[in-house]
Structure 1
Amino acid sequence: MTLQPEINIGTLGHVDNGKSTIVQALTGVWTARHSEELRRGITIRIGYADASFYECPSCEPPYNYSTSKICPNCKSETKFLRSVSFVDCPGHHSLMVTMLSGAAIMDGSMFVISANVKCPQAQDREHMLAAQMVGLRKMVVVQNKIDVVDRARAKVNYQEIREFAKDTVAGDAPVIPVSAQHKLNMDVLIAAIQEKIPTPKRDSSVAPRMSILRSFDVNKPGTEVDDILGGVVGGSVVQGIFKRGEEIEIKPGIKVGESNRVTYERLVANVETLQAGDGEVKQAMPGGLVAVGTDLDPSITKSDGLVGNVLGRSGTLPDILEKVSLDVDLFERAVGTEQLVPVQKIKMNEPLVLNASTAVTSGLVVSAREDIADVQLKKPICADPGSKVALSRRIGESWRLIGFGTIR
């Protein structure tokens, strides 16, 4: 598949609900590729996989949808509809921060719930809260694992899902029963995605911007100096169109100076290559995940060194923020705690963890009044006024999501 995917669809829900298995059933790709993830059986880093959707002109809907050029039912040639990128997020509550950084680049979501456990599980609530926070209103709910329960339990679970979803962004979302393990009902799921999560209209005239979710050094050890390739950054284009050969900037950039006087310096580079889907492209637009090959020193990009940065056309990115003033919106109770912990107001000198798009930073509250908080950041961020940031507070041994703020 050489077409760039035109939309990002996230997978949300509790850790064992089978999100990665559903993505694999649709795309053929197992998104938990890192060794620690394979060993533990959970997705720790956000994973990605692309699929092409096709429609059979001969079969009746919704059974005419598939991911194949030849209809699996009647063997007719199918018609290409669109290419989709699935963003597979970790479900475990301690990895909530990673999920939020993935939600920053989603156009819609599949919310996966297991038929064989009571709904909602603790992490289902967390992910639904996060979906509301980042405004993920285009949603399809997937009732997975119907192959391991009887009809009566499946019906009870369906009602549990409806009750859970009714006052949330998933209130009018369809609930599609599937067995990801056996690839059952995938045609109906694709039909629901096609109807409920259309490709958003994009404005190609605005200055391009990308949130960096991964960064790499693609050179193998022992590569000859003349053959060394520049650093590569990966992520999703949020707006506009990037073109090969143009000059870009990356902010906040890299740390410079001594330990007691650290500042951040933006990086300037040229776009050498653009990769999307399975191939190289001349330009990259929103939808899907894009790898940008640059002429940066690969030591800067290796091992996810630039994750959390923002990439844009040179001279177009907002200022670097070392301190943020936030309009704060707190949840009634902390997310992910075993007991219900009411959220107290933010206090002076309180440490917080902030997520701004794909950036994660800590900060100290230097002013707190009513619903406004000023936070001095340990590591600066690059964000526009009006951007949302997730706020987490230390509760027990973990950082727990307590609400969000809007940059003033």
Structure 2
Amino acid sequence: MQIPAQPEVNIGTAGHVDHGKTTIIQALTGFWTSTHSEELRRGITIKIGYADMPIYECTSMTGPERFSVIPEIENCEGETIFRRAVSFVDCPGHESLMANMISGAAVMDGAIMVIAADEQVPRPQTKEHMAVLEILGVDKIVIVQNKVDLVSKEEVKENYSQIRDFLAGTIVEDAPIVPVSAIHKINTQYLLEAIETYIPRPERDYSKPVKMFVIRSFDINIPGTPLSMLAGGVIGGSLLQGALRIGDELEILPGYLEKKGDRIAHEPLHTEVISLNSQTLRLEEAHSGGLLGVQTDLDPALTKADGMVGNVTGKPGTLPEVRYDLEMEAQLFKYVVGTDETVEVSKIQPKEPLRLNIGTSVTLGSVTNLREDNVHVSLLKPAVAELGTKAAIARRVAGKWRLIGVGQVLS
């Protein structure tokens, strides 16, 4: 599939494990985003996947059939216009991979929430993913009622009613619900129309200093490559603001992490942009919006196996500070999110261990001070966080990390 231009919006997938998120993306793009050997063996998404998709429209047609991912639209008698390209951020649905999902959600402009028609609504990670989207303010959401081919018409209607009940009171209670069969590619044109209608391109400010969240990183060299021919490491993510050009200098924070005593210390990294790529395009300049691969002159040992995930990169001297301690105003949920049973959220306690997701970074910390809703946490691993940043707060519940609230960084 040819992509005429750099994607300008990131659309994430959300929903319970095995509800068909990756299959939906394949139905739209023809690309299976779960390529890691362990993902193929287990049949689930583990790492954040990605795929780009163009959207074309026939000007002489009405209804959802006017949209397509290829320029040759059946029965089109007028002009076919390229509308835009989008990037899909395919997130895992398994409960043990929630931290990966939150990292992916940090770069989403909108989302498709996939809910299976052959299961009760909501399932635990359906609730958990919706909570994450609400925490991060992702409110441009299309609901995909998948697997309608597996149930009767009456069951589809009952499932639809359950979805509407689940959405009531959320930030997307009026979101469109599109019934599809991803495996048979049924109603995908209606999904394209919903994406084009309900997930618009957000306003971007290209004049601001460039800032990018890193959600993947790679070593692109094959084993046995001579030292003189080694290519620099690649970082992947999305530009939150600004524009990036080949030859630009970048600072990466927190950068290189090294254990010193009972803490992990950081050393900022500096690098140069060697090349810029979207999924199918080589770029001289990249703007904010869409997913991007940036080849650098970093030692590929640093970037291999997602070693740079959780970093923030941008113009030197413009990035937020690296924090070893965090004070935040915590807003706790009434109930723990992601469990089958109903568990009330109790107050955060002194010395309690917490898991914090800040941007694409995941770090653990211990509560050192409490004052009303303000919580001071000493971090085991430093994180980049500017004033006002939101952090997803999780605690151990029955041996698993579960979301209990959201914090806003104060100092």
TM-score where L is the length of structure 1: 0.97
Q: Does 1:137 align with 2:136?
A: no
Q: Is the contact made by 1:326 and 1:405 (CA closer than 8 Å) also made in structure 2?
A: yes
Q: Does 1:119 align with 2:141?
A: no
Q: Is the contact made by 2:264 and 2:380 (CA closer than 8 Å) also made in structure 1?
A: no
Partner Cα separation in structure 2 for residue 82 and residue 397 of structure 1: 45
Letter in 1 for 2:279: G
Partner Cα separation in structure 1 for residue 142 and residue 327 of structure 2: 35
Q: Is the contact made by 2:263 and 2:381 (CA closer than 8 Å) also made in structure 1?
A: no
Secondary structure of the 1:334 match is strand
Partner Cα separation in structure 1 for residue 262 and residue 151 of structure 2: 60
Letter in 2 for 1:166: A
**Per-residue deviation at 1:329?**
0.8
Partner Cα separation in structure 2 for residue 329 and residue 48 of structure 1: 32
Partner Cα separation in structure 2 for residue 263 and residue 86 of structure 1: 34
Q: How does 1:7-406 map to 2 (within 5 A)?
A: 7-74=9-76, 78-256=80-258, 258-259=260-261, 262-406=264-408
Partner Cα separation in structure 1 for residue 398 and residue 46 of structure 2: 22
Letter in 1 for 2:290: G
**Per-residue deviation at 1:263?**
2.2
Secondary structure of the 2:238 match is strand
| 4+ residue runs over 2 A deviation | 57-60, 72-78, 255-263
1:136-179 C-alpha deviation (Å, 9 max, x unpaired): 11111111111111211111111111111121122111111111
1:336-380 C-alpha deviation (Å, 9 max, x unpaired): 223221111111111111110110110110001211100000010
* Residue 261 to residue 54, structure 1, CA distance change in 2 (3 Å): closer
**Per-residue deviation at 1:73?**
4.4
Q: Is the contact made by 1:393 and 1:399 (CA closer than 8 Å) also made in structure 2?
A: yes
Q: Is the contact made by 1:350 and 1:364 (CA closer than 8 Å) also made in structure 2?
A: yes
Partner Cα separation in structure 2 for residue 129 and residue 39 of structure 1: 29
Gaps spanning 5+ residues in structure 2: where? none
Which sits farther off after the overlay, 197-206 or 332-341? 332-341
Secondary structure of the 1:301 match is helix
Partner Cα separation in structure 2 for residue 135 and residue 262 of structure 1: 31
Letter in 2 for 1:85: S
How many residues were matched structurally? 408
**Per-residue deviation at 1:277?**
3.1
**Per-residue deviation at 1:299?**
1.4
Gaps spanning 5+ residues in structure 1: where? none
